[in-house]
Structure 1
């Protein structure tokens, strides 16, 4: 089994494990090297294909998220997912208004929230918009240029809500990821939806996992996601020894990274060491996994995991 298991996020359904590994691993190696572990960094990438290399694999589940137009959801399921998507979208708007590092973006989010709450337009008519419309007005979601925001928001919310509400999809994804985790696995790194998946897979383990890292995770205190993750009520995975949760303030998909508040009163003796916080630097694409993987905070933890 792999020593490091990587779990990707949304919108990767037409990628492959190999192509994602080729993107993630050199960035992770760069962060490990910057943190003062050059030998481990070389084993991650330079010597990856040799006996000296560290076996790091992408647990790919993107193809499971493909949906054919001939497979519509039942009306009640579709309504539930729309409701969840609206609530999650509103959370993202609130984060933009509260913590974006760019004042114009905060102001734009505040205006979208005001419109969302049904204020009258110039003709005096009440306008009721969806959070998706509001998010589409933010530059953060239009990284690929004008017109891209709506498609990204729709896809992100659709895949996230489908995972949380479709038991068959959830089981297939968890089985796919769990298959790469074994006795030799020292580190599991999950990004975005992959962070939620990594957390749930960790609860399946019946062997120690030295390090769980979640990046840009939508799982957080007082979020919609908190009500839908399994098991309920949420609790730290028993066999995880250390859990590090990192988010950027400009990453609107990431919940506030406060693990202690996520599990109030649920800590038990012998549970994992919980570390969480915001990144020390801002990136141009704050939700991009490349941005997180190159951070020294992550590189230091991975380096330490292989230094013993």
Structure 2
């Protein structure tokens, strides 16, 4: 396969802290190689890690969130949402509680149901909203601190308390805000999408792997992409999170990007960031009739909202490798 027809593989990350581009690219590729081996594609491992099966790029936009968000212990103090962003977070947190409660009920998990009901009882009241954004954020932080007592989240210990988690979740709202702009008047969401598509060649096939907020970014970035998109993978996606995300997408009504030939969506039942995972129920097909196909994976380990845990799954890595080989 010559360099001119080598497929392009773009990784699009989600919420979280400042990232190192090359470290992340390497970690995602290594996880994908593990998943490929488990899926029976051991012969593809060297091609993935050495770059001859696909030209892999990690689209890093994490620094675009750092102006108003410090890294490290001071993150909660440095973050100052406005009223509209706070309202988004209130909707988003309530939606997350609804989904977690539904899953706990389906599994008959009384302990988890009790934690979720405790968190739900702490949701903001009118008095909290009337006291302003600061009071609302403090209440939502306490709600998420309670949610983090769920065993799978408590043992993972990715966040010490609800405020840092809320700060990271706010990145979804900031992307969808459409108002936040730099000195040249370029909105945050447009700058993020530009990072995703930077360096892509429409003359070569493209495979996109997107995680968390990155699935929202990739969905919108591919809207007008003129080249062939052989596969769109969305992992741990909040795309179908009704009023909080779905109704803020562009275009409306949402439909599969027109050059996407296949869309696979994966979710893990213990992934706190995923809302209702049935994206296909809320998405119109593109002209080729393509709709997302959703499947569930059960990750091992204690914390599942990471792209690398999804990529280690053979159900995820298998179709990805097959798309690169076609």
TM-score bracket, normalised by the shorter chain, equals 0.7 to 0.9
| 1:219 is aligned to 2:239 | yes
Conserved in 1, the CA contact under 8 Å of 2:124 and 2:139? no
| Runs (5+) with no aligned partner, structure 1 | 119-127
State the distance in 1 between where 2:177 and 2:124 align: 27
1:86/1:9 CA distance change after superposition, 3 Å: same
Question: In 2, are the aligned partners of 1:240 and 1:271 still within 8 Å (CA)?
Answer: no
Q: Distance in 2 between matches of 1:99 and 1:236?
A: 27
Partners in 2 of 1:163 and 1:147 — Cα distance?
Answer: 22
Q: Deviations over 1:119-177 (max 9, x none)?
A: xxxxxxxxx98343211112355566497122332222321111110341111101111
Q: Are the counterparts in 1 of residues 230 and 260 from structure 2 also a CA contact under 8 Å?
A: yes
Q: Which residue does 2:193 correspond to in 1?
A: 174
Partner of 2:142: 133
Kindly provide the CA deviation profile for residues 77-125 of structure 1, in whole angstroms up to 9, marking residues without a partner as x: 811111001110111122222214654222101122123276xxxxxxx
Tell me the SS of whatever aligns to 1:82.
helix
Q: Does 1:157 align with 2:157?
A: no
- Please point out which of 34, 42, 49 is paired with 2:46: 42
TM-score by length of 2: 0.80
Residue 29 of structure 2 corresponds to which residue in structure 1?
A: 25
State the superposition RMSD in angstroms.
2.8
2 CA distance for matches of 1:260 and 1:26? 30
Q: CA deviation at 1:239?
A: 0.6
Whole-angstrom distance in 2 between the partners of 1:2 and 1:92: 36
Where 1:137 maps in the other structure, the secondary structure is helix
| Structure 2 unmatched runs, 5+ | 1-5, 71-79, 126-135, 180-186
**Residues 146 and 219 of structure 1: CA distance in aligned 2, closer, same or farther (over 3 Å):** closer
Output the CA distance in 2 between the equivalents of 1:233 and 1:279: 28
Cα 1:147–1:306 shift into 2, 3 Å:
closer
Report what 1:61 is aligned to: 61
Size of the aligned set, in residue pairs, is 289
SS in 1 for 2:285: coil
Is residue 28–residue 311 contact of structure 2 (8 Å, CA) maintained in 1? yes
8 A Cα contact 2:240 2:275, kept in partner: yes
Range with greater deviation from structure 2 (57-66 or 152-161): 152-161
Match for 1:109 among 113, 116, 123?
Answer: 116
The answer (yes or no) to whether the contact 1:250–1:282 under 8 Å persists in 2 is no
Per the normalisation by structure 1, the TM-score is 0.84
Instruction: Give the drift of 1:184.
Output: 2.4
